[in-house]
Structure 1
Amino acid sequence: MKKRENILVFIFSIYVCFMSYYLYTNHYYNTDMEAYMGLIYKTEYPDMKIEEIHQKVYDELREKNPDFAGLGPVDPMVEEVSKGESAYYKILSQNPKAYEEELQLFVVKPFYNFINWSFFKLGFSASASNSLISVISYALSLVLIFSFLIKILKNYPLAFIITILISLFKPFPEAARHVSADSLSCLMLLLSFYVFLFRRNLFLAGIFAMLCILTRPEYFIFYSFLYGLIYLYRNRLKVKTAPLLISYGYLFLSFFLIQAFNQVSWSTLFMNQFIKVQIYPVSQPDPFIFSDYIHFIKSKIMLEFNASYFPVLLIFIIIILANNFSFYNKKKQAQILFFAIIYGTVMMRFLVFPSLANRMMLGFYLIIMLALVYIQNSKVDIFKNSLEDGK
């Protein structure tokens, strides 16, 4: 039996290496790359003028990918989400001042930028550093998912099969191929859950949650609700109030630390992303028009939600939770509240940033999937001696 398990682990290791190599050699040169590269150079060379940083970034991108957005002619057939979007990256490639202001849109992810800079310090190019972080986060997330499933299923072959299927779930490799904070924030999210559930280490789980927020600030909404749920069931979970509040205090401080250094207001960011692109969002932001905001929300909410995986996952949630359902069952109550928190967070996030791009929703998708696997198939009770059945 031990030999078969070792063989599966070896095969899984080979698979993860193969997928990581494939995704790295087929990554996207998406338009966030030029901003993250600029922040790497700005950190490494604080005295370098923006004109020099701009030149270095676009020289490297021109060498790596001559078809990168902004380096070629503007395509008039490209569908624009916000007015002026198709010409925006062309302007950035030619205007260092506009490029400098665009960097302010990306400084709100300090942990992600720190990891990018760390890879650069190890000797990788700025563009390679951006790509590596997504692929490595993908690989480590797969290892963590496999470990999680082994612990709750006590079945190596089943854990192996489910992990392989999850690894092919479209938003997962898509996030790994993009230069974005999605893969890293997903890894931090999974680590925070893993440490809390299996290590019962609230402090370390809080550290990973803080790093998740410092990678993608909008996760502060989710963790705020989640800490409320933990507080509600603190006695059954054997969690003391003081450590819980201290841990949440770190999350609160990390989120507002980001806001203290943020020069671009939410209203400006919204107008820039969804109404009209602003060349100078810091020095010359356009006024926020509330009627435009309401119109965009109304026009997109159903389309975005239906284009995501949330409706189909909701069907499976209802089917699985309906089995032996009882309002008086404490475990069922906790499960319902947990999924309600996820969907409530997604809706609140949409009101702030009205996009449900699947790679951005990856962390929520994976948490839902793993929770459903646990509820349906787990051979162990991760809440043993804490969260009772209520019978």
Structure 2
Amino acid sequence: MKLKWGLSFLFFILGVSFLTYSCYQNRVYDWDMPGYLGSVYSWEFPNDAKKVQEKVYSDIQKEASKTEFNDILHYNHANEVFYTDYKAFGEQLPYYQIKVGYNAAVYVLYKIGFTGPHAVLLTNIFSYFIAGLLLFYLVKFLFPENYFMAPLISLFILWFPPVRSMAENPTPDTFLFVFTLLFTISVLQKRKSIVQFLILVCCVLIRPDYILFAATYLSAVFAFKYFTESKKLEYSLIIQGLLLAVMYVAIIKYYNYPGWKDLFYDSFFYRRPIISAEKADFTFKRYFDFLIFKLVNFKKISLASLILLGGTFYFSKENWIRILAALFFINIYIKFIFFPDSANLRFFIGFVILLFIVFLYAISKKYNGLQLGKIA
């Protein structure tokens, strides 16, 4: 069995190395990169906004192809203004600066000696490889007697186009994916609640909007423990929720984050060249109509998620497993309600994969007799 698992892991390493190299070769320099680079360079030059802006674009121009660089500059009118007006560029940085955890990882690679653009992209490439290792470990944990399933399932997930897209583009989603996988492992292996809390802290630092995921998870655990176990209030969970909320507010306030309404307006209606010069006003009807329009284009994610949720409920009669599956399912739509970019599956694929892992757990328990036990 050891030999078989050794060969299985060797096959996986060859596959994940090939996929990782492919992602690196197809790395994308897009219009989000100036925002993350500007966030990192603002740590390096905190009192020279003009130098930050000039260095961002000069460094990208050195590495990106001429076509990619032109796409960054002319993606919309706002991008053209950001290239010529350092004050306008600085006003949109808070959208990126609040992702402190991701920027910190980029900054570490930058200080090690990588160029700024490479530091952004390599954070994703390294995260992609690590995520692959965690997926292999998870599937091996779920199916310890089936040595061929771990590499096949793991490589299939990594090969999936939205997952590769996360790694190839300058976005914190792949880095965040590593921590959500760690979180899932900690839940399935009944790690102490403090471990799960620390992972949630990392998730919120990487993407502050994951405060909603943290809140729903802590609420689910709180309710589950109260109604099925102790009938007592778990004050530790309340304290954890409050600490996460305080951290979230501190980040938002420190970086003068414009707010969800501004983000929604700039992302889906009109990207303002100068944020302070125009209010982000839109009605609820306009928001609702846009949401319904995007929901129509959300069929693939909806269908896949419903199948996985239904399959989990079918194979598992365990209440906590069903709650966990429902939690990941609900968070797909919480994310969609606040940021309905149905064309970019990378915003939602992480939760779908976590739902898939819970589905695999339900199958593994039914046929292999794994026991989740009580929540740690």
TM-score using structure 2 length:
0.89
Is 1:167 the equivalent of 2:158?
yes
In structure 1, what is the equivalent of residue 247 of structure 2?
A: 254
Q: How does 1:280-359 map to 2 (within 5 A)?
A: 280-281=274-275, 283-290=276-283, 291-303=285-297, 305-306=298-299, 308-323=300-315, 329=317, 331=318, 333-356=319-342, 357-359=344-346
Is 1:143 the equivalent of 2:133?
yes
Question: How far apart are residue 3 of structure 1 and its match?
Answer: 1.6
Asked whether the 8 Å contact 2:311–2:359 carries over to 1, the reply is no
In structure 1, what is the equivalent of residue 225 of structure 2?
A: 234
Question: How far apart are residue 320 of structure 1 and its match?
Answer: 4.8
Question: How far apart are residue 126 of structure 1 and its match?
Answer: 0.3
Per-residue Cα deviation, 1:210-248 (whole angstroms, up to 9, x for no partner) = 111111122221221121221223276899924333333
**Amino acid of the residue matched to residue 116 of structure 1?**
V
Aligned partners of 1:219 and 1:37: how far apart in 2?
A: 22
Unpaired segments ≥5 residues, structure 1 = 75-84
Asked whether the 8 Å contact 1:192–1:209 carries over to 2, the reply is yes
In structure 2, what is the equivalent of residue 190 of structure 1?
A: 181
Aligned partners of 2:252 and 2:172: how far apart in 1?
A: 18
In structure 2, what is the equivalent of residue 82 of structure 1?
A: none
Q: How does 1:1-391 map to 2 (within 5 A)?
A: 1-47=1-47, 49-65=48-64, 66-70=66-70, 74=74, 86-154=76-144, 155-198=146-189, 200-234=191-225, 241-261=234-254, 262-281=256-275, 283-290=276-283, 291-303=285-297, 305-306=298-299, 308-323=300-315, 329=317, 331=318, 333-356=319-342, 357-378=344-365, 379-384=368-373, 386=374
Cα distance change on mapping 1:372 and 1:32 into 2, 3 Å:
same
Secondary structure of the residue that 2:127 maps to in structure 1? helix
Alignment size in residue pairs: 366
Asked whether the 8 Å contact 2:30–2:71 carries over to 1, the reply is no
Question: How far apart are residue 319 of structure 1 and its match?
Answer: 4.0
Asked whether the 8 Å contact 1:109–1:217 carries over to 2, the reply is yes
Question: How far apart are residue 257 of structure 1 and its match?
Answer: 2.1
Secondary structure of the residue that 2:271 maps to in structure 1? coil
Per-residue Cα deviation, 1:188-214 (whole angstroms, up to 9, x for no partner) = 111122123325121122111111111
Asked whether the 8 Å contact 1:144–1:191 carries over to 2, the reply is yes
Secondary structure of the residue that 1:67 maps to in structure 2? helix
Per-residue Cα deviation, 1:45-73 (whole angstroms, up to 9, x for no partner) = 223x2222222111121121222355688
State the superposition RMSD in angstroms. Answer: 2.4
Aligned partners of 1:322 and 1:347: how far apart in 2?
A: 22
Cα distance change on mapping 1:196 and 1:253 into 2, 3 Å:
farther
Aligned partners of 1:316 and 1:98: how far apart in 2?
A: 44
Cα distance change on mapping 1:319 and 1:135 into 2, 3 Å:
same
Cα distance change on mapping 1:72 and 1:296 into 2, 3 Å:
closer
Asked whether the 8 Å contact 1:69–1:90 carries over to 2, the reply is no
Aligned partners of 1:189 and 1:133: how far apart in 2?
A: 16
Secondary structure of the residue that 2:347 maps to in structure 1? coil
TM-score using structure 1 length:
0.86
Asked whether the 8 Å contact 1:153–1:380 carries over to 2, the reply is no
Secondary structure of the residue that 2:148 maps to in structure 1? helix
Aligned partners of 1:162 and 1:276: how far apart in 2?
A: 41
Aligned partners of 1:377 and 1:197: how far apart in 2?
A: 12
Aligned partners of 2:305 and 2:97: how far apart in 1?
A: 33
Aligned partners of 2:280 and 2:121: how far apart in 1?
A: 35
Cα distance change on mapping 1:380 and 1:171 into 2, 3 Å:
farther
Unpaired segments ≥5 residues, structure 2 = none
Asked whether the 8 Å contact 1:206–1:248 carries over to 2, the reply is no
Which protein has the bigger helix share? 2
Secondary structure of the residue that 1:105 maps to in structure 2? helix
Secondary structure of the residue that 1:355 maps to in structure 2? coil
Cα distance change on mapping 1:157 and 1:197 into 2, 3 Å:
same
